[in-house]
Amino acid sequence: MADIRTRLGDWELDNPIIPASGTFGFGAEFAKLYDINILGSLSFKGTTKDARFGNPTPRIAECTGGMINSVGLANPGIEKVISDELPRLRGMFKKSVIANISGFSIDEYKYCCERIDREEGIGIIEVNISCPNVHAGGMAFGTSCEAAAEVTKAVKSVTTKPVYMKLSPNVTNIAEIAKACEAAGADGIALINTLLGMRIDIKRRKPVVANKMGGFSGPAIFPVAVRMVYQVYEAVNIPIIGMGGIASADDVIEMMMAGASAVEIGAMNLTDPYICPGIIEELPRLCEKLGIERLTDIIGAAHD
């Protein structure tokens, strides 16, 4: 039987399968369906300093091969996450988790990362830099090397746990942004976040989503994600969590050969809530079929 364990820095995971932030909540809904402890880890719902109701509805639009969402980081805020959600999650999930942190200013990122860094059971802090910088005209932090590096330095100055920067694909050169994050002290990179997409209701002649545009995710974006993980692997010397359209064990192998040490599965959790346990079950069989003895042996194999 193939060894499907993997590592993110010093952290060993039983397998590389991690539900992505925003698609798994804080685990409670899925814990009713299966034992979520079979997962490698999980990335909980994106958390900001203050509670957020999110964007106006409708927030979801279906697409061929995926979906567009404009949920708007709806969450109870960092203090409620720490006081209510984390204790509840620890009661269901016995492994360390990934804390996904979002912010609209450097100070907000620092505050939230410093608060979550003190909590037990947090293995990695995943910093979403696809948020608009409210002090810089609304441009997302992750769309420039300078802004991405600034956030990285800021959160590293107040944390002790590994920090992985979650990158936006809506850029010209994602490798340069990854390199800027590494130079600023990032312990790892997570990519890709959603692409920017839009649907129009041709009967109403109006955008389907109230916010007009939103994040495009699902199997249709998988080739883009593989390409960007491949490019970033060649640019940095820190671990990568790959995500974007993963829908099968074959996709996991492909993403790891591109350079990912672990993967996150997002949109497919919403269409098939058993997608993660299904892939975990299938991985050893696929590894045996492909002659893979240890999953870690194939990380970056497509570059050799």
Answer yes or no: are the C-beta atoms of 127 and 99 closer than 8 Å: no
Helical H segments across 157-203, by residue range: 174-183
What confidence score (pLDDT) does residue 137 get? Answer: 63
User: Is residue 218 a contact partner of residue 67, using CB atoms and an 8 Å limit?
Assistant: yes
Residue 113 pLDDT: 98
- The predicted structure's pLDDT at residue 42: 98
List of domains in the chain = 6-303 (3.20.20.70)
pLDDT of residue 139: 72
Distance of CA 148 to the CA centre of its chain: 16
Per-residue confidence in pLDDT tens, the chain, 304 aa: 899 999 999 999 999 999 999 999 999 999 999 999 999 999 999 999 999 998 999 999 999 999 999 999 999 999 999 999 999 999 999 999 999 999 999 999 999 999 999 999 999 999 999 877 667 666 789 999 999 999 999 999 999 999 999 999 999 999 999 999 999 999 999 999 999 999 999 999 999 999 999 999 999 999 999 999 999 999 999 999 999 999 999 999 999 999 999 999 999 999 999 999 999 999 999 999 999 999 999 999 999 7
> How far, in Å, CA of 84 to CA of 91, rounded?
11
Residues 234 and 260: beta-carbon distance below 8 Å: no
Q: What is the C-alpha to C-alpha distance for residues 66 and 77, in angstroms, rounded to an integer?
A: 28
Structure tokens of 153? 């330095």
Examine the residue annotation and report whether 112 is marked as an active-site residue of this protein.
Answer: no
- Contact between 73 and 51 (Cβ < 8 Å): no
Alpha-carbon separation of residue 244 from 9, 109, 161, 265 (angstroms): 21, 24, 25, 7
Set 131, 145, 181, 287: catalytic member: 131
pTM of the model: 0.97
132 vs 23, 144, 241, 255, CA distance in Å?
A: 21, 12, 23, 28
CA distance 74 to 113: 18
